[in-house]
Amino acid sequence: MYIQKFTRDNIQNALKEIFQFECNNIELQQTKKEFEGDVTLVVFPLIKELKLSPKEIAEKIGDYLVENSFVVSYNVVSGFLNLSIADEHYLSFFNSVKDNLNYGFSDNISDEAVMVEYSSPNTNKPLHLGHIRNNLLGYSISEIYKASGKKVYKTQIINDRGIHICKSMIAWLDFGNGETPSSTNTKGDKFVGDYYIKFDEIYKKEVEQLVKSGNSEEEAKQNAPILLRAKEMLIKWESGDKEIVGLWKKMNGWVYGGFEETYKNLGVDFDSYYYESDTYLLGKEFISSGLKSGVFYKKDDGSVWCDLTEDGLDEKIVIRADGTAVYMTQDIGTAVQRVQDCPDINSMVYTVGNEQDYHFKVLFLILKKLGFSWSENLFHLSYGMVDLPSGKMKSREGTVVDADDLMQEMTSTAKEISKNLGKLDGLSEDEKNNVYKTVGIGALKYYILKVDPKKRILFDPKESVDFQGNTASFIQYSYARIQSILNGINFELSKDKYDRKLEDKEKELIKQIDLFHSVIIAAASSHNPALVANYVYDLVKSFNSFYQSLPILKSAFEDKKTFRVELSKLVGITIKNALSLLGIGVVDRM
């Protein structure tokens, strides 16, 4: 970014001096490897204004830059001006950042905040592999926003009310015999989730019996006795029945304890929590006022709807005929509550799977119709599902991949591989366990985050922990290699600025480091952590090429030795900072 910024500034000066033309939309690219040069100006957008051929424009700009700036030479290829930048300019950049432990991160924080929602689980089951992608995306994009200079609030909405938790409650009342997570030594969210599965088992049996008794399958599904009891319980809960509310609080409390343990192990955190049981009431208030203003209308059965057909959508229910709320109700209330709580919020990002794309189109449109100006700055960070080689997951059937189990499996896999490599001798057991967890969980995170959020993922645990290829393990191993270099020096690093001729591999590495901040900005604007993941992989590949081609500690020249050690150190800082944006840690030995 440093190189491109100064190149852009000098090109703008050239356009003013040569053509008396001011242009703020100069398009620069990295020069393709098959051509000579460092930075490339795309000339075609200038043709219309300057009314000259691409070759004429490029040559005039090139001649000016060679004479008046840090450009040492240029070549023109089909309307692209390839510029070769002087070594001293790269060294100027390197000298300015080589000791900055926060390299790449913005120093200026905006007064306007963005709130990022992620996780948002139901309280009837533990977190699973799908939740892991959600949490990793939400946490990572939050960290990327921060690094780009935004003020960020991390939050979640806990879906703690509704028919789903009532199903677990009914099953526990019928079959729990008073047992608790403590008495069974079971994690709280797993404990409650088992009763959700139990409910589904009973429900299917009752549906089967009703069908055998002459009911249609649809009638049987609607009238299974255990489901009717769950619906009745939901109505009682919304009316404030003390006994039902007490049981609801107790079982949700078990679940929250389990969630917190999972979040800690996954390495994600939140600044605030919202609960559907609170926000759906505020949503009802705005639906009531929207009825008066004509945003909503009531049908004969008492249900309340919003007609969005003129906007290319359909009619959306916001209150059921029995007066109970739907997801849209609480989402309206939650959005309003968040802006009331944090007036500096300029935008909100909802990290939710792509099966809810339509839901968020409707939500954002309803909020706009209700007159909230901030509704223009709402974004749905939509992502594809995560599949396993064994097939699709289903929570109610107990076929999901539990997040805790998966994290333990990843840690165990990393342990097995690390033991086989035999490079942790001399470390304490605690130090070894930290390496296993950092490598295992890092592999999981990177495998998921390196993929564009919109794409569906087939997750292969074994493939993700690989010390070769585009994996966290490969990147972490390179970081550990750099620490080994730094630990192997027997001299002090110079505080002086470097001034020397650069080798091609050194220059390529500096160019790659220089891109880091611009990648952060691009990842923030496109809501895509994969840009950071693939950037750090390219950086590591560039470092390994440099490492294999040029001697570092064994160089016969002192100035080369110290410079290459300093360059390696900066690569290490950049790797660590880039991985931190993905929630991935580093270790000094692997």
pLDDT digits (tens, 9 = 90+) for 44-54: 999 999 999 99
Q: Is the pLDDT of residue 392 over 70?
A: no
Predicted local confidence at residue 390, as pLDDT: 64
Average pLDDT over residues 244-267: 97
Convert the pLDDT of each residue in 196-219 to its tens digit.
999 999 999 999 999 999 999 999
What is the distance between the alpha carbons of residues 264 and 232, in angstroms, rounded to a whole number? 36
Q: Inform me whether the pLDDT recorded for 91 exceeds 80.
A: yes
Give one word for 116, left, alpha or beta, with left for phi > 0 and alpha for psi -120 to 50.
beta
Position 341 confidence tier, pLDDT thresholds 50, 70, 90: very high
Alpha-carbon distance of 419 to 440, in angstroms, equals 13
- Where are the extended beta strands (E) located within 12-133? 28-30, 39-42, 71-77, 80-85, 113-117
Give yes or no for residue 469 having a pLDDT over 90.
no
Nearest residue to 454 (alpha-carbon basis) of 525, 381, 544, 393? 381
Task: Return the residue matching tokens 């997801």.
Answer: 327
What amino acid is encoded at 385 in this protein? M
* 394, pLDDT greater than 50: no
- The pTM (predicted TM-score) of the whole model is 0.91
190 touches 258 (CB < 8 A): yes
Q: What is the pLDDT of residue 162?
A: 85
Q: What gap in Å lies between CA 422 and CA 418, rounded to an integer?
A: 6
Angstrom distance (rounded) from CA 267 to CA 35: 43
Strand order in the sheet with 315-319: 297-298, 304-307, 315-319
pLDDT of residue 256: 97
Burial of 37 from C-beta contacts in 10 A (0-12 / 13-18 / 19+): buried
Q: Which of 129-138, 171-180, 247-256, 484-493 has the lowest mean pLDDT?
A: 484-493
Q: CB–CB of 328/367 below 8 Å?
A: no
Confidence of residue 395 (pLDDT cuts 50, 70, 90): very low
Percent of the chain with pLDDT over 90: 82
How far, in Å, CA of 413 to CA of 423, rounded?
A: 16
Q: Which three-class secondary structure state does DSSP give residue 563?
A: helix
Closest of 30, 29, 63, 33 to residue 44, by C-alpha: 29
CB-facing half-sphere around the CA of 80: CA atoms within 13 A? 14
Beta strand extents in 99-255 (DSSP E only): 113-117, 151-158
Mean pLDDT, rounded, of the chain: 93
**In this model, does residue 391 exceed pLDDT 80?**
no
CA–centroid distance for 288 within its chain? 36
Q: In angstroms, how far is the first alpha carbon of the chain from the final one?
A: 32
Kindly report the backbone phi and psi dihedral angles of residue 527, in degrees, each rounded to the nearest multiple of 5, phi listed first: 55, 45
Q: Give percent of the chain above pLDDT 70.
A: 98
3-class secondary structure, 391: strand
Return the residue matching tokens 């993929």.
451
The yes-or-no verdict on residue 64 having pLDDT over 90 is yes
Question: Are 124 and 196 in contact, with CB atoms under 8 Å apart?
Answer: yes
479-522 pLDDT, tens digit each: 999 999 999 887 777 677 788 899 999 999 999 999 999 999 99
Burial of 18 (0-12, 13-18, 19+ CB in 10 A): middle
**What band does 399 get if pLDDT is binned at 50, 70 and 90?**
low
Q: Are 6 and 70 in contact (CB under 8 A)?
A: yes
Beta-strand relationship, 113-117 and 151-158 = parallel
Question: What tokens appear for 223 in the block?
Answer: 């009238």
**Residue of 579, 476, 479 whose CA lies nearest to 533:** 579
Tokens of 155: 């939050």
The answer, yes or no, to whether residue 396 has pLDDT greater than 70, is no
Is the separation of the CB atoms in 419 and 389 below 8 Å? Answer: no
Q: pLDDT-based confidence at 24, cuts 50/70/90?
A: confident
Using DSSP's 3-state secondary structure scheme, residue 96 falls into helix
Distances (CA, A) of 363 to 155, 384, 535, 549: 18, 20, 35, 56
Please give the pLDDT value at position 398: 46
Q: Is the dihedral of CA 201, 207, 208, 213 positive or negative?
A: positive
Cα atoms in the Cβ-side hemisphere of radius 13 Å centred on 191: 24
pLDDT band per the 50, 70, 90 thresholds, residue 393:
very low
Interstrand relation of 315-319 and 457-458 (parallel, antiparallel or unpaired): unpaired
The residues, any chain, with a CB within 8 Å of residue 480's CB and separated by 6 or more, are 586, 587, 588, 589, 590
Residue 114: name the closest of 360, 356, 339 by CA.
339
